[in-house]
């Protein structure tokens, strides 16, 4: 089996790189007989940091066949790493490991208070037992996902409980992701020092400097939230409609302010069909975020947050190659020239080899 080779301008720096896949690691040491499979603009693999593959509708059990199909759609669009902050069941052994699916981390079932979240998906517990449940999940998978708030009028998780969750999860080497779409839940999550706030709708912008100082990431799932506005506006007036419209209409500005404040912003889709990471990047750019930073939220910055280096010697051999600089032409994200995962070419434009011949 020949050694794979790619070359071109590598982001985020734009420096020229000539890379060889030494198994599942990049090297810049030339390898005789290596096969040049693509050249162009190189990114260290895209990341969808908020995706729930393997189910068609909320509340359904995890479907292993659908899970693989969904993950393949991610790979086709250049996604070589996913974070699933909530899965509908225990994933199969091949999840995140097989050569045809992205690397992956997950948080198991969502953890919520009694009476909140989606039937069939939430692991519900008394407040006193939530920290233990979260620590057990994190010890198993590395992450725990808690529902800090749910419907308008529901009590949010108390800050003291979330502090205990964070302490116990960090003690076992794990990380805490928190769903929040209301001000009180977001404030409690930030004060408790969680590792990531998911959605963050209605989050007080005054909390952004504290998030930046603590290293708390924000995954705004911006495209999903802003795309829903037209639909929600057609609904009858009521407390839930007013809450959602108030948060969603200001969400783009919140995401842009988070980047400006130095918060780690992660790109996540939280939607079907899978493989829509380009839509989230474009939504971030539409919010006023520089294309460089929006793309970083879906690539090098997200990988660094999840513990993976970029296109450097010794790094995992993941990459996506484009014909032109995707920061200048965001449409490039819809048509990667080649996708390399674990040192193997897993997706390529039909013209790739002809162009390089």
Q: How many CB atoms lie within 10 A of CB 60?
A: 15
Distance CA 79, CA 71 (A): 9
pLDDT digits (tens, 9 = 90+) for 107-163: 999 999 999 999 999 899 999 999 999 999 999 999 999 999 999 989 999 999 999
CA distance 56 to 76: 19
Query: How confident is the model over 1-28, as a mean pLDDT?
Result: 95
For residues 321 and 222, membership in a common domain is answered with no
The pLDDT assigned to 2 comes to 81
Which whole number is the average pLDDT over 173-191? 98
**Residue 352, pLDDT above cutoff 80:** no
| Confidence (pLDDT) at 356 | 40
Q: Mark whether 169 and 81 lie in a shared domain.
A: yes
CATH code for the domain in which residue 317 is found: 2.30.40.10
pLDDT of residue 357: 33
The domain boundary residue, chosen from 305, 321, 338: 305
218 and 176 in a common domain: yes
Which pLDDT tens digit goes with each residue over 244-280?
Answer: 999 999 999 999 999 999 999 999 999 999 999 999 9
Is residue 71 located within the same domain as residue 170?
yes
Whole-number Å distance between alpha carbons of 261 and 253: 12
Verify cis geometry, omega within 30 degrees of 0, for the bond prior to 126. no
Convert the pLDDT of each residue in 77-114 to its tens digit: 999 999 999 999 999 999 999 999 999 999 999 999 99
Q: Which residue among 285, 305, 325 closes a domain?
A: 305
In a shared domain, residues 84 and 206: yes
Which of 281, 305, 329 represents a domain boundary (last residue)? 305
pLDDT digits (tens, 9 = 90+) for 321-341: 999 999 999 999 999 999 999
Same domain, 214 and 293: yes
Same domain as 210, residue 329: no
Is the confidence at residue 318, as pLDDT, over 50?
Answer: yes
In the chain, the number of structural domains is 2
Domain with residue 298: its CATH number is 3.20.20.140
What residues contact 22, with CB distance under 8 A and at least 6 apart? 3, 29, 31, 317, 343
The verdict on 294 and 207 lying in the same domain is yes
Q: How far is CA 289 from CA 36, 253, 276, 329, in A?
A: 34, 9, 18, 15
Report the C-alpha gap between 250 and 246 in whole angstroms.
7
Mean pLDDT of the chain: 95
Examine the domain organization and report whether 187 and 64 are in the same domain.
yes
- Asked if residue 121 and residue 250 are part of one domain, the reply reads yes
pLDDT of residue 347: 85
pLDDT score, position 230 = 87
213/332 same-domain check: no
For residue 172, pLDDT beyond 50: yes
204-252, pLDDT tens digit by residue?
999 999 999 999 999 999 999 999 998 999 999 998 999 999 999 999 9
- 225 with 261, same domain? yes
- Residue 355 pLDDT class (50, 70, 90 cuts): very low
Q: What band does 1 get if pLDDT is binned at 50, 70 and 90?
A: low
75: Cβ–Cβ under 8 A, 6 or more apart, which residues? 100, 101, 102, 339, 341, 346, 347
Residue ranges making up the domain that contains 143: 46-305
Predicted confidence band of residue 350 (pLDDT cuts 50, 70, 90)? low
């Amino acid at each position: 089996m020949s050694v794979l080779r790619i070359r071109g301008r590598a982001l985020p720096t734009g420096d020229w790189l000539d890379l060889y896949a030494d198994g599942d690691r990049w090297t810049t040491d030339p390898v005789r007989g290596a096969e040049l499979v693509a050249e162009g603009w190189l990114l260290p693999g895209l990341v969808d940091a908020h995706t729930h593959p393997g189910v068609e509708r909320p509340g359904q059990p995890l479907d292993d066949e659908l899970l693989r199909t969904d993950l393949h759609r991610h790979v086709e669009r250049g996604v070589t790493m996913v974070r699933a902050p909530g899965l509908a069941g225990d994933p199969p052994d091949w999840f995140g490991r097989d050569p045809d699916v992205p690397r992956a981390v997950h948080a198991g079932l969502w953890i919520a208070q009694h009476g909140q979240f989606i039937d069939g998906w939430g692991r519900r517990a008394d407040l006193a037992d939530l920290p233990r449940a979260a620590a057990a999940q994190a010890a198993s998978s590395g992450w725990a996902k808690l529902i800090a708030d749910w419907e308008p009028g529901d009590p949010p998780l108390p800050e003291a409980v979330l502090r205990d969750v964070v302490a116990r999860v960090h003690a076992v080497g794990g990380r805490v992701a928190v769903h929040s779409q209301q001000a009180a839940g977001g404030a409690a999550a930030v004060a408790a020092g969680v590792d990531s706030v998911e959605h963050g709708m209605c989050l007080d912008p005054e909390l952004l400097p504290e998030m930046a100082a603590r290293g708390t990431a924000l995954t705004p799932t911006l495209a999903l939230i802003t795309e829903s506005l037209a639909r929600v506006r057609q609904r009858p007036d009521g407390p839930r409609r007013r809450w959602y419209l108030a948060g969603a209409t200001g969400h783009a500005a919140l995401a842009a302010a988070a980047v400006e404040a130095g918060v780690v912003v992660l790109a996540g889709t939280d939607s079907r069909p899978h493989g829509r990471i380009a839509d989230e990047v474009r939504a971030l750019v539409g919010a006023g975020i520089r294309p460089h930073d929006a793309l970083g939220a879906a690539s090098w910055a997200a990988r660094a947050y999840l513990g993976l280096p970029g296109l450097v010697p010794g790094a995992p051999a993941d990459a996506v190659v484009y014909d032109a600089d995707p920061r200048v032409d965001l449409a490039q994200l819809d048509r990667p020239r080649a996708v390399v995962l674990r040192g193997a070419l897993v997706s390529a434009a039909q013209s790739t080899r002809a162009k390089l011949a």
